[in-house]
Structure 1
Amino acid sequence: MVPSVDAKTDELRVAHDVLAEWYAERLVGALDAMPIERAVLGMFCEMTLAADLGTDVADIGCGTGRLAPFLKGHGVTPRGVDLSPEMVNVARRDYPDFTFEVADLRDLPFDDASLAGVVCWYSLIFLAPSDRPVAFGELARVVKPGGYLVTAFKDGDGKLRRGGRSAGLGVEFDGYWLSADEMQRRLADAGFATAFWAGRPAEEQESTPQGYLLARRT
């Protein structure tokens, strides 16, 4: 169990405990209908393997664990971590062949330079400005030089937004939709160099464009 460190972290964790089954029901098989997302994740796997630094990668903010089979199918060995204990319980239940554990992005349970890569799929959008240097620094700490990071994010203006209401489950939490420029700047400050970035317009059910960024640990 992640210790209580601040009210916002507790709010985020509790909200995602409540949302775990809701996400599990709605996101099952969703990646199959997302060719852009599959292409970006596939590129991450291919470039990670080409770097010849091993196959161990971490899915940081793994949620229900839904990316694990795709990542394994493309040659890497994923291990998931998430702030929400209930998300981890659901991931362990639905994907028992993989390892998942509870952890905070600001204090990752991995040794220095121990991973060939990290996946941050919509998990960096919850970082308050004051938490970003530590969190991005942790990502840089655990990735081997020459390894890769891939992230998907909501491309926006960086303003605080309250999320969770649309689920109708009585939970809310803070989120931040950062621009591609700020994401690249944050990663560069932490020791990553952009290898690829792209975006797509918002689809009918979305309220903002989506961004994708692949970066190499320098």
Structure 2
Amino acid sequence: MDDDKTQELRTAHDALADFYVGHLAGWLEDMPVERSVLSLFGELTLAAGLGADVADVGSGTGRLAPYLMGLGLRPHGVDLSPEMVRVARRDHPDATFDVGDLRALPFADASLAGVVCWYSLIFLAPADRPAAFRELARVVQPGGYLVTAWKPGDGTLRRIGASSVEFDRYWLSVDEMESRLAGAGFTTVFQGGRPADERETAPQSYLIVQRNGEITPE
């Protein structure tokens, strides 16, 4: 799966790792809506009785790990960028982080109580989306939950430049995001959004979905 676009995305985020550490510092603390959505995901996940192991897919600098652990979850971060993983391990030594690809996650079938995709699905090109959403469904236990945050849009390619690097992003509509997750075997339990704040250029959307199938608590 190491095509030219994948390599471009990896190289760009390797270059941006330390910039993101500083740029995103303190953002979650200033965002009560995002904390509330993550907290709801945590409460639902633990209440399902399937354990506390969750994947943070596209974990970046690991900034969500302390909050997720504070909810009682055991996050395992996965990111395409080795440099992002390096800084995450450096800054959050109590959590686990590994290099991995959303399209081939390093987890066994139905091994997780939940998955967090926090602004990580925005990098999926149209051809990669079916396999990626199937992969997310593969690793979540029936009855487990997935939470995602993203910038909503019309799904067209947005070429982004930052700190002298460029890469592709796609802002999916709420309808497409829900449809993709439903097609992979999830049911929506929460959908919400908020307008952009003074630091942002676009509104934000949030979904929590539950994996379909028979629930088998531990």
Range into which the TM-score falls when normalised by the shorter chain: over 0.9
**1:39 is matched with which residue?**
36
Instruction: Answer whether contact 1:156 1:209 (CA < 8 A) is retained.
Output: no
Does residue 110 (structure 1) correspond to residue 104 (structure 2)? The answer is no
Name the amino acid aligned to 1:63: G
Q: Secondary structure of 2:123's partner?
A: coil
Structure 1, gaps ≥5 residues long: none
For 1:166-206, what per-residue CA distance to the aligned partner results, in whole angstroms no more than 9, with x for missing partners? Answer: x3x21000000001111000000000000000011122332
Measured in 2, the distance between the counterparts of 1:88 and 1:39 equals 26
Does residue 93 (structure 1) correspond to residue 90 (structure 2)? The answer is yes
Instruction: Answer whether contact 1:156 1:208 (CA < 8 A) is retained.
Output: no
Structure 2, gaps ≥5 residues long: 213-218
**1:204 is matched with which residue?**
198
Does residue 30 (structure 1) correspond to residue 27 (structure 2)? The answer is yes
Residues 61-76 of structure 1 mapped to structure 2, 5 A cutoff: 61-76=58-73
Question: For the aligned residues, what is the CA RMSD?
Answer: 0.8
Does residue 82 (structure 1) correspond to residue 76 (structure 2)? The answer is no
Name the amino acid aligned to 1:91: A
For 1:29-62, what per-residue CA distance to the aligned partner results, in whole angstroms no more than 9, with x for missing partners? Answer: 2111000000000000000000000000000000
Q: Tell me which of 1, 14, 18 is aligned to 1:17.
A: 14
Q: Secondary structure of 1:125's partner?
A: helix
Name the amino acid aligned to 1:214: I
TM-score normalised per structure 2:
0.96
Q: Tell me which of 121, 126, 130 is aligned to 1:129.
A: 126
Identity %, equivalent residues: 68
**1:58 is matched with which residue?**
55
Measured in 2, the distance between the counterparts of 1:194 and 1:145 equals 14
Q: In the comparison of the two structures, how many residue pairs are matched?
A: 212
Name the amino acid aligned to 1:66: R
